[in-house]
Structure 1
């Protein structure tokens, strides 16, 4: 199946890609990653309206949905731009539907509201704290957050509290992929803090959104590494000819292309399914996460092999995308975890 984008979606993708090419070239990205301070990029990103794409207009957004967010994630992955705060914020945004004024303020000011859950597993896999507070490990974008949306479990019911970043304690954790960040968040006593009671299913929806966006990011990194590998194979020579002329290299490139194009349709379909509330949306999101992220890892390994020794150097950009693809496979739950969800949800059929 080949997924076809609408004219508006194609226009958005090309416009955002052009913006990233102008304002997030490789040398600028390396500067942000080396300094550990992506605030300049985040500010421009918010000021020029990209942060509001994919969020409802009633909450201060510019419209669009998860397909548009997946397109944005794909492009951000394709240039290794700092995106921890954005990824965490767009996952948390629908949870603020009960507080539209707060959501609108966050979108307008670029003040990232981050979901305080462990990003090392699906977002609905536990993680709620008690009213007395607690510690949440590996919160994506925690160091960039202005507010935290904290799931609270009390008397068997789920509620959400919005806590200012100034009221929590952060313990940063280092990642090999410097384009994202995580931190341990120590949540204070919330016994006197207002909280909005919500249905348990809201975290399952957030988990599906997060899975789709991680898959979309992997799609972007895979496509970029494919392009880099093919371009390099045309330049590098052995025995007096470009290595692109070797049958083994052609086969490797073809396999990478198949992986990328297969992932593209899967990611877009899953994004539309989750956005429209399809009855099998959770399965589609699980399939996108469990298939696209490992495929991107395979593309990363093949791209590294095609580059040879230069691909292992710090000066070459390949390691930025290689590390990003590797993190995506763990982000919001491993491929094994999502495959287990698929196996559990799908009916068993008798052998013929």
Structure 2
């Protein structure tokens, strides 16, 4: 069976790469990394909306393309290959989360303006301790309240309120690009059941304290909520939270293999041109063997990312298991590829002026985002020795 991409998907990824090559090459990405306080690149944000990267999985009625996770993963891989500032990936993830709502009016109110680039969203799904399951959620929801703030006002004719029904309090953890967002999609528990809520960042109960991220192409902040009115996403069942986490895990894996592929290419270019002892250093057997192993791992994991996204789109039984398999192996690839990229460049690979450190940091961020092999390997092992049914993407008691 062929698990390769279709011609349309290849063309979609190619279009993203060409835009980045023309408008946001590695030199400009490096400039952006030097001044992260500037926020998301304005041109990139506009392109994400105009070229419908944000609306890949949104329905046409919300201005989207109505495609699947595999198509969105193709876009994420291309963005990772260009080391695109992470804010656009955060906005894409927020749109995908909102697309899970079963309420057409809710999607019209929030998703449609996000797809159009009129509203910026970010996801706050990670627990303060770094876990990625329902047991680690530290925000609680109680009944009552209205959604307030600039985002709600902009969408309700300036009234500043929207029907909500919940109030959130607690530590939402580290949130990527929270300071750039109009709304946050916050994971919280209500009567012990996990859900995702829309929160306006303009509410006085939302505390956003910037922190220094691992990846300089992104911004991050610690978010705490104190009696903040919120609107719950409308879901068909209680398992949607796990499905959201699984989908975003696939997208992070796609970004990772994209960055890993470009890191390998720039390393190969350097090894072909750098000469030592009268020959290109890429001709030495020890280097060739290491690169061959990395290439095999990268191509295998990339194909596995495509298959896993396809498995989610088609409801295959192994979708959950493959999500953990892929993220575990991708995290291992990230550490190996980032080390090779820096080391094979020699002294220049350790300098700020070279792009190697940007790949090192992006790959390490992606490795741990939504769990590394230390988080996912026990899930895979449990599935392998269990009674034949795959566990949810979590561990009993929230253990990492």
The TM-score normalised by the length of structure 1 is 0.91
Label 1:196 to 1:91 Cα distance change in 2 as closer, same or farther (>3 A).
closer
- 1:87/1:213 contact within 8 Å kept: no
2: distance between equivalents of 1:186 and 1:228? 40
Alignment map for 1:162-181 (pairs within 5 Å)? 162-167=198-203, 168-181=206-219
Alignment of 1:266 onto 2:273: no
Aligned length: 348
- Equivalent of 1:146, from 167, 182, 186? 182
Q: Which residue of structure 2 aligns with residue 308 of structure 1? A: 346
1:108 partnered with 2:96: no
Query: How much does 1:64 deviate?
Result: 1.8
Shift of 1:201: 0.9
The residue that corresponds to 2:392 in the other structure is none
Aligned equivalent of 1:334: 372
1:133 is matched with 169
More deviation in 31-40 or 209-218?
Answer: 31-40
Superposition pairs of residues 63-102 of structure 1, within 5 angstroms: 63-84=66-87, 85-98=90-103, 99-101=106-108, 102=110
Runs of 4+ in 1 over 4 A off after TM superposition: none
The alpha carbon displacement at 1:197 in A equals: 5.6
CA RMSD of aligned residues (A): 2.1
1:19 corresponds to which residue?
19
Partner of 1:195: 232
TM-score (norm 2): 0.81
Q: 2:359 aligns with which of 321, 325, 334?
A: 321
Of 41-50 and 168-177, the range deviating more from structure 2: 41-50
Greater per-residue helix proportion = 1
Q: Is the 8 A contact 2:54 2:92 kept in 1?
A: no
- CA distances 1:258-307 after superposition (whole Å, capped 9, x unpaired): 11111111110011112222222111111110111211221221222211
Pair 9,193 (structure 1): closer, same or farther in 2 beyond 3 Å: closer
Q: Distance in 2 between matches of 1:164 and 1:75?
A: 30
Indicate if the aligned counterparts of 2:53 and 2:92 stay in contact, CA closer than 8 A: no
Deviation string, structure 1 residues 295-328 (Cα, Å, up to 9, x no partner): 1221221222211111111111111111111111
How does 1:167-316 map onto structure 2 within 5 Å?
167=203, 168-190=206-228, 193-196=230-233, 198=235, 199-316=237-354
Residue 152 (structure 2) aligns with: none
User: Gaps (5+ residues) in structure 2?
Assistant: 143-167, 388-400
C-alpha distance in 2 between matches for 1:143 and 1:124: 25
Q: Which runs of 5+ in 1 are unaligned?
A: none
SS in 1 for 2:84: coil
CA distance 1:169–1:96, change in 2 (3 Å): farther
